[in-house]
Amino acid sequence: DSGVTQTPKHLITATGQRVTLRCSPRSGDLSVYWYQQSLDQGLQFLIQYYNGEERAKGNILERFSAQQFPDLHSELNLSSLELGDSALYFCASSVTGANTEAFFGQGTRLTVV
């Protein structure tokens, strides 16, 4: 158990809908990262937050947004969903935003039908 909690584990929704994925980082970790992993693909970095502020942006679509709350949990919002958004979405946390170990959650498997 990495200490990072993601909910829900599975999500099935229709095209055009909006969903929210939630992540609780490890106790004491200030930095949260979101990644997308499509079937048999690598990890695509979406966005990073550090202590409530956006720190870095990767290949995140405009239809997607995220935030980190004062209690440090984070939410990833995906809207106007398309079939191609079906993927595993991972959250990871680390103590800082620097080159330290990132701990990954179990992921949320999103299926858009």
Partner 1 sequence: GENVEQHPSTLSVQEGDSAVIKCTYSDSASNYFPWYKQELGKGPQLIIDIRSNVGEKKDQRIAVTLNKTAKHFSLHITETQPEDSAVYFCAASIPGSNYQLIWGAGTKLIIKP
Footprint on this chain of partner 1 (rule: CB under 8 A): 2, 4, 41-43, 45, 48, 55-56, 58, 90, 92, 97-99, 101-107
Q: What's the alpha-carbon Rg for the chain, to the nearest Å?
A: 13
Residue 35 or 64: the one with the smaller Cβ distance to partner 1 is 35
How many angstroms separate the Cα of 17 from the Cα of each of 67, 95, 96, 106, 111? 19, 34, 34, 23, 12
Q: How far is the CB of 26 from partner 1 (least distance, A)?
A: 12
Extract the runs of DSSP E, i.e. beta strands, from 38-107.
44-50, 53-57, 64-68, 74-78, 87-94, 103-104
Q: How far is the CB of 16 from partner 1 (least distance, A)?
A: 29
Residue 3 or 16: the one with the smaller Cβ distance to partner 1 is 3
Residue 52 or 79: the one with the smaller Cβ distance to partner 1 is 52
Take residue 82 and report the two structure tokens written for it. 């398309």
Q: How far is the CB of 30 from partner 1 (least distance, A)?
A: 12
